[in-house]
Amino acid sequence: MTPYSGLAGSGSPAGWLAVAGLGPGGAQWVTPEVSQALADATDIVGYRSYVARVEPRPGLVLHASDNGDELERAAHALRLAEHGRRVVVVSSGDPGVFAMAAAVFEALEQGPLAWRALDLRVLPGVSAMLAAAAQVGAPLGHDFCAINLSDNLKPWDLLEHRLRLALQGDFVIALYNPRSQARPHGFARALELLRGTCGEAEAARRPLVFARCVCTPRQHLRVVTLSQARPEMADMRTLVIVGSSQSRLIARDGVPWVYAPRSAPRAGR
């Protein structure tokens, strides 16, 4: 009996489904819990670049697919678990942060009632925003929010509305999926909105962190001000952290440290 049989219900005694985060980069970022699930699995389901991070072995079936239909991928994993397979759906980072966990639960809600009895667990991982933050200091040390800049599943006007509200609340903002070949102009529009809302003087001192391929051999870190930021500094492998009005820089050789003070000034001071 594996550690994942009988997790959360009375489904098949042999079948289970784990939705796992592989972390942002190398094997050292994969948690022991996720490593154990991968070792016990009969099937790995996920986007092909994430499935490629799992070491093949005899008896393990890899179900790699192109980016796109996450709901069908999730339903396929649920069907495998229903038939007694031990399935791990893999995402990079954390599976609950703009990744496959939400798709699995959407498919679960829409699918047969029998799926609700399956042994199912979400296994957390290190999200890209946490890994990126650790490379440059403590930019998420005070209140922050995360926004996915892709408008594939939400209208752009809603995205702009949320960006404005985040700036109004003076949150540090972690921006996921800032710029792709299919959406080359979205990040440019977001930068224009940020600069227009903050104003010229504030934009000249508010820091932005660009963390590309974080925690991999191809990692590249850059810290600039909002006024210096350019769309081509980001792509889909980049996590962007937009500082608040209180964010601070500490100069050093190379990339400066960035941190958010633990306290915020009281209104009127």
**How far apart are the C-alpha atoms of 172 and 264, rounded to whole Å?**
12
Higher pLDDT among residues 68 and 164, named by residue: 164
Burial of 250 (0-12, 13-18, 19+ CB in 10 A): exposed
**pLDDT score at 268:** 59
- 2: pLDDT strictly greater than 60: no
Q: Which residues of the chain does CATH 3.40.1010.10 include?
A: 16-126
Q: What is the pTM of this model?
A: 0.90
Distance CA 54, CA 67 (A): 17
Average pLDDT over residues 133-145: 97
Query: 148 and 98 in contact (C-beta within 8 Å)?
Result: yes
What is the spatial distance between Cα 142 and Cα 151, in angstroms, rounded to a whole number? Answer: 27
Q: Where are the beta strands (DSSP E) in the chain?
A: 16-21, 43-47, 61-65, 86-91, 119-123, 137-138, 144-148, 172-176, 207-212, 220-225, 238-242, 248-250, 257-259
Long-range contact set of residues 9-12: C-beta below 8 Å, sequence gap at least 24:
9/116, 9/117, 9/118, 9/119, 9/120, 10/117, 11/81, 11/82, 11/114, 11/117, 11/118, 11/119, 12/81, 12/82, 12/83, 12/84, 12/118, 12/119
Architecture of domain 16-126: 3-Layer(aba) Sandwich (3.40)
Domain with CATH 3.30.950.10 in the chain: 129-259
Closest CA to 208 of 238, 185, 253: 238
Q: In CATH, which superfamily holds the domain spanning 129-259?
A: Tetrapyrrole methylase, C-terminal domain (3.30.950.10)
Q: Specify the pLDDT at position 269.
A: 54
Out of 27-36, 111-120, 124-133, 177-186, least confident range: 177-186
The pLDDT mean for the chain works out to: 92
What letter represents residue 23's amino acid? Answer: G
Residue type, 227: S
Measured between its terminal Cα atoms, the distance across the chain in Å is: 61
In this prediction, residue 51 carries a pLDDT of 96
